[in-house]
Amino acid sequence: MGSSVQASAVPSRFEAVQTLSDDGEARAVLVRDRYRGGRLVVMKRLPRRGRSHADTAALRRQLLLLRRVRHPNIAPVLDVAFDEPEETYNVTTEHVDGLDFVAFARQLPPDRLEDLVAEVLRGLAHVHAWGLFHQGLKPSNILVERDGDEVRPRIVDFGPPRSNSSPHADPHAEAERLRWLAPELIAGGKGDARSDLYGVGLMLWETLAGRPAVDSDDPEVIAAWHAGDRATPVPTGRLSRLIARLTDPMPGRRCKSAADALRLLSKETGRLFFHQGSAAEECLLTGRFVGRDAEVHRLEEVAGRAFRGEGGGLFVVEGGRGLGKSRLLEELEVLAQLNGLRVVSATARRARSRPLGVVRDVLRDLVGALGPDHACVADAVPILGSVLPNVCDEPDQDAALPPEHDRLRFQQAVAELFAAAGEVRPLLILIDDLHWIDDASFEALQHFVRQMNGVPVMLIASLDVGSLGDEQEHPVARWFDECEREVLTLAPLEASAAEDLVGSAFALPGNVKEISELVTRLTGGVPLYMEELLRNLVEGHSFAFDDDGRLLSDPGSEAADERAVRLVLARIDRLPPASHRLVEALAIFDGAASRSAVAVAASMTMAEVDAEVRGLEAADILRTDLTPDEPFWCFRNGLFREVVADRIDPADRSSMHDRVVTHLEETPGVPAAELAYHAQRGTAADRVLAHAARAAAEAGAVHDDAQERLLLEAALDAAESLGRDAEQRELMVALADVQERLGDVDEALLSWRRLSNDDPDDPHIRVREGDLLRRRGAWADAERVLTEGRRLAAALGNVPLTSRAERGLADCLFRRGRSAEALAGLDAAYARLGSDGLPGERARILSSMGVIRWFRGEREDALQHHLESRRAFEEAGDRLGCATADVNVGLALWTRGRLTDALDRFRRAETMARRMSHYFVLASALHNRGVIELELGRLDDASRTLGASLHMRRRLADEVGLAKALNNIGLVHHFAGRLESARRLIEESLARRAGAGETRGQANGHVNLGLVRLDLGDDLLAEESFAEALRLARDEEDRGVIGAALLGLARLHLRRCEIEPAHEAAERARDVFAGLDQPHDVADADLLIGRIDVALGRVTPARLRIADALRAIRRTGNARLLVQGRRAAGDARSGAAGLSSYAAARRTAERHGFEEMAWRAAHEEGLAFEAAERHEEAVRALRRAMEGLRRLHDRLPEHRRESWLKDARKLDLQASFAGLVRKTECLT
């Protein structure tokens, strides 16, 4: 276990959490990175002191390489920096939270263990290709992360090898270190890839044997065992030979490389492990930086001027899109940090949406590196803080542009801070994508550059001149024409430079000149396009190379025909389709047929470019190059489908497809989908039916719903043509299921109705039809159909189907306002099932009961029902049910005020639903997650999440869900001050609910509409909305909505200065919420009662009530209520305490985008300053309120603008009066 660590042990940017390891030479600390949103990372501190010059150079090279490595099975290095006072290299890597390899692997069946080992070997193969070796692999250095059913091993703690221990080392620690070392490392020799593979073999040994390979704590015994004195045999099993090869005492007898080990693993298990997994698609090639050595050297020289104290300047890296400008700056950043420069950086494109975004990012890095207590920072903070408050603590807070008369002062403070920091330690400022910089940041940088002569600060920026538009008019271009600068212009790579890129893509040591020239020609030498082409080839998972760089078809085959490979490469004429064709061609190497197959693939590639010419050439190749006993390659793997097939007579083509089917039926291991493809193009309907049905079943097993649907439709057509009614009915049921999963409710409903017409007495069909009618919101029709389905199922004694019909019927009754009747039916269905039978159906009934009880206000019972249903779904192995239960548990937790726990539940449900492609549950999880984000004040996140839910509801034709999404998007607009838009959205939501006959949702919608109308100044219409909400909620016995409507009426009475009715309504609302155990709603009511008490002069009880409410709100994290609470606290307090409350309310509202609340809080803050006779602050606060009100003006409807003008005049008069008083005081 780790130990605690003092905060002073790490740079100020980080917060130390605990020490993970400390072996005297290197120290690993778990830290929280304040600039990465509090993300946990591991910082390894490597001392430079005591190392020779050669060792230091080797260490710097290794750290630079580690910074570039990207692979899904390697924990990435995030940052490398040199801490000059401590003389240490600080290396931060991603924190991997997982079990060590042996502890995790012991739980796995053999096939899963083989998959895990293959991933580890792939990661080692990738990192060894860089010339990097771990030389210390042990179980704690391979951590296995688990996310649901997915597992991924990550190799951690790369770094310089530890030197041999001294005689005074702790014996137990020494034994544990030696237990995993290869014998050549124990002897003090130099390790390589085989040394790392030795550690992997020892881990497999312990995993399968259940005990360590060498079971002793005596270092001498351990060393002797590694040297070959072994009494314990290798564990038996499929991996026995692999373990023996990996753990051989003689390095020359081990597998030469990780690729060699993967081939052996494939051979021993009969499975193909060589190719990269799908997770590698996002990582391969992202770390390599090649072909720009001269440019990097030039930039190193430029940065070195500042390091040597020769002054700084401006340096610009120019080039078009994809030429590597950003990658060049990333490379320079690492090199500069390793050489002792202080580096701060910003990406203009990412920061352009915020005023002063670039300056904020640069200052944040700089202040974080220097520390907030540094002298030059302390001097600058009073000026910078007026524009960028809390630049260290709140990196995401937007800046406010300074007024014109303060702008120069601000720019001068920025320039002085840069200069002062450069005097302390040479400073390198990197600005990527300068053409996207915001105007305010650009002005500040211009001001600094004009004053940087002789200052040890170098500003290096990347620029795409083509993105400047009219270069003569663009301010950046005009500035460059006027200022003194140096320029490095990037050109496309030459073929010789591309050789390293091509070789690194496949880790090829051999000659790749021919391929490199082709890649350069195809991509014009643009590195971005080169990497895209190579990534396409790598992601095809079809490439393997022997140790001499020769291409293999698979781990066990001979080298592929070199002429055929060159033929493919030479005939690629277009980047994206061509690369896919190449992958497809290489994927079908199969002994003697490989040459002809590749030839066909090459011609097909050319046919994409010029079908008229190349298609005939492909036909010629087919006639001349295919051997007589291989007439089917032209149809395999899609090579002959688009072009050549169209040039053959249709009858001949169908006959050839029939021959292909006959041949493939005799070939073992052919996928059913391929057989189905050819059968559909042949002449035999019975073959179509057989192969398409089997292929559909295989597609369904891997959740490929779209493919399954196409195959089922083909099989259904074949069954109809053959007149096979039984098979036709079975296929129609499967097709309806797939249509429903894909969200095509109308098509699925037609399928079930067609089945119902053929067999009206089948209860299963009737129940499924009723379920789809419920999805459409046709409650009356659904009730009728489900009642009939329940009767038919009960007559047959089918308990599960009867229970399902009862659940659907209960939902219909509940939606139509008959919740007591619905609960009674569910209780009866649950009793029929008993406590021991059918856990899945029991779980669904409990879930339905929980939903109804939740809406009835029986919140504790609802939560217990949902938790029980979650356990029952897990017992039944129903992942979809678990996701649905998580949504329901999240809703119950939300009403209890546990917003963060609820958000976690919704995210868990969302992840599971995405994996299963179940869009209905996914839409529900997204919707509820968006509502929580709204409550937490994350308006942008809520808007995006609810928008995704809205899109999905439309796709599912889910009218009720669509109405919910519209309602909550309306709330986002309401909180953001877009009142007219909010009103329209909520009214549309109400219309859709009314059309679907859902009265319960209408009540909640009327409450929200009333609140919007209240803010719009439509008091009479707001009163109508609240009254209608009360009526509907009482009919539905929905106590939660009753409380919300009462609270809305209380706000309306308070607005009209009807104090007593307001107090009475708020108290009644509070009693309702307290009875439902909804703490955040209770707190909301308490805030309103507190403000009413202040109006009545009952200040002391108001303060106590508001303080209690604020404590409850802070526990829930509800940002909107937090703003209201702080405003209420400002009303109840006096003096400085009241002022701080109003200021806190304004800052919170501004941070979360609550614009209406922000200007009101600013107004209240100004009045409080005026009351305290602090007139200058009052003027500023009131002017700030004026600005907020102006921003809202264009969003207001016409009838609100008159009210707005009154508010504006009032604010203007108040600000003018405060300013006059201030001037009078100055004169006096």
Q: What is the mean pLDDT of residues 857-863?
A: 77
User: Is the predicted pLDDT of residue 1196 greater than 60, yes or no?
Assistant: no
pLDDT at 943: 80
Task: Tell me the Ramachandran region of residue 464: left when phi exceeds 0, alpha when psi lies from -120 to 50, beta otherwise.
Answer: beta
User: Is the predicted pLDDT of residue 728 greater than 90, yes or no?
Assistant: no
- Between residues 614 and 975, which one has the greater pLDDT? 975
Reported confidence tier of residue 574, pLDDT bands at 50, 70, 90: very low
In this predicted model, what pLDDT tens digit does every residue of 658-670 receive, in sequence order? 777 777 777 666 7
Q: Which of 48-52, 232-236, 259-263 has the lowest mean pLDDT?
A: 48-52
Chosen CATH of 1149-1228 out of 1.10.3470, 3.30.450, 1.20.58, 1.10.8:
1.20.58
- Between residues 472 and 1070, which one has the greater pLDDT? 1070
pLDDT at 503: 60
Q: Which of 67-76, 572-581, 951-960, 1019-1028 has the lowest mean pLDDT?
A: 572-581
Residue carrying structure tokens 């940002």: 1119
Cα(610)–Cα(370) distance, integer angstroms: 62
pLDDT at 1216: 59
Q: Residues 538-564, buried b or exposed e (16+ Cβ, 10 A)?
A: bbbbbbbbeeeeebbbbbeeeebbeeb
- Between residues 377 and 42, which one has the greater pLDDT? 42
In this predicted model, what pLDDT tens digit does every residue of 864-911 receive, in sequence order? 888 888 888 887 788 888 888 888 888 888 776 677 788 888 888 888
pLDDT at 308: 67
In this predicted model, what pLDDT tens digit does every residue of 1125-1182 receive, in sequence order? 788 887 777 767 777 787 888 887 777 667 777 777 887 777 777 777 777 777 777 7
pLDDT at 285: 38
In this predicted model, what pLDDT tens digit does every residue of 1035-1074 receive, in sequence order? 777 788 888 889 889 888 888 888 888 888 888 888 888 8
In this predicted model, what pLDDT tens digit does every residue of 581-614 receive, in sequence order? 433 443 333 333 333 444 444 444 433 333 333 3
* Amino acid identity at 717: D
- The listed range with the strongest mean pLDDT (780-784, 1195-1199, 1218-1222) is 780-784
Residue carrying structure tokens 């390091």: 307
Closest CA to 127 of 507, 498, 503, 499: 507
pLDDT at 765: 84
User: Is the predicted pLDDT of residue 755 greater than 80, yes or no?
Assistant: yes
pLDDT at 243: 92
DSSP assigned state of 34: G
Provide the mean pLDDT of the chain.
73
DSSP β-ladder status, 313-318 and 457-463: parallel
* Amino acid identity at 837: G
- Between residues 197 and 741, which one has the greater pLDDT? 197
* Strand partners for 887: none
Q: Under DSSP, is residue 45 helix (H, G, I), strand (E, B) or coil?
A: strand
Reported confidence tier of residue 247, pLDDT bands at 50, 70, 90: very high
Q: What is the mean pLDDT of residues 476-502?
A: 73
Q: In this structure, which topology does domain 958-1052 adopt according to CATH?
A: 1.25.40
Residues in contact with 1196: Cβ distance below 8 Å, sequence separation at least 6, in sequence order: 979, 980, 1204
User: Is the predicted pLDDT of residue 546 greater than 60, yes or no?
Assistant: no
pLDDT at 1210: 57
In this predicted model, what pLDDT tens digit does every residue of 761-796 receive, in sequence order? 888 888 888 888 887 777 788 888 888 888 888 888
DSSP string, 192-259: -HHHHHHHHHHHHHHHHHSS-SS----HHHHHHHHHT---SPPPPSTTHHHHHHHT-SSGGGS-SSHH
Closest CA to 239 of 112, 420, 414: 112
pLDDT at 868: 85
Cα(816)–Cα(852) distance, integer angstroms: 12
| Residue 210 exposed, middle or buried by CB count within 10 Å (0-12, 13-18, 19+) | exposed
pLDDT at 202: 93
* Strand partners for 545: 551
What percent of the chain is modeled with pLDDT above 90?
A: 3
Count the alpha carbons within 13 Å of 14 in the hemisphere toward its beta carbon. 24
Neighbours of 483 (CB within 10 A): 12
Backbone angles phi, psi at 1200, to 5 degrees: -85, -15
pTM: 0.40
Q: Are 1155 and 1143 in contact (CB under 8 A)?
A: no
Closest CA to 665 of 712, 696, 632, 701: 632
CATH code linked to domain 293-492: 3.40.50.300
| Helices assigned H by DSSP within 253-315 | 258-269, 293-307
User: Is the predicted pLDDT of residue 180 greater than 80, yes or no?
Assistant: yes
User: Is the predicted pLDDT of residue 153 greater than 90, yes or no?
Assistant: yes
pLDDT at 142: 93
- Between residues 290 and 455, which one has the greater pLDDT? 455
| Class in CATH terms, 7-94 | alpha beta
DSSP β-ladder status, 457-463 and 427-432: parallel
Q: Under DSSP, is residue 489 helix (H, G, I), strand (E, B) or coil?
A: strand
Closest CA to 1029 of 1015, 1012, 1016: 1012
User: Is the predicted pLDDT of residue 432 greater than 80, yes or no?
Assistant: yes
Give the residue extent of every domain in the chain: 7-94, 99-162+170-277, 293-492, 958-1052, 1149-1228
Q: Under DSSP, is residue 553 helix (H, G, I), strand (E, B) or coil?
A: coil
Reported confidence tier of residue 397, pLDDT bands at 50, 70, 90: very low
Chosen CATH of 99-162+170-277 out of 3.40.50.300, 1.10.510.10, 1.10.3720.10, 3.30.9.10:
1.10.510.10
Q: What is the mean pLDDT of residues 387-399?
A: 48
Task: Tell me the Ramachandran region of residue 958: left when phi exceeds 0, alpha when psi lies from -120 to 50, beta otherwise.
Answer: beta
Cα(174)–Cα(24) distance, integer angstroms: 13
Cα(342)–Cα(362) distance, integer angstroms: 12
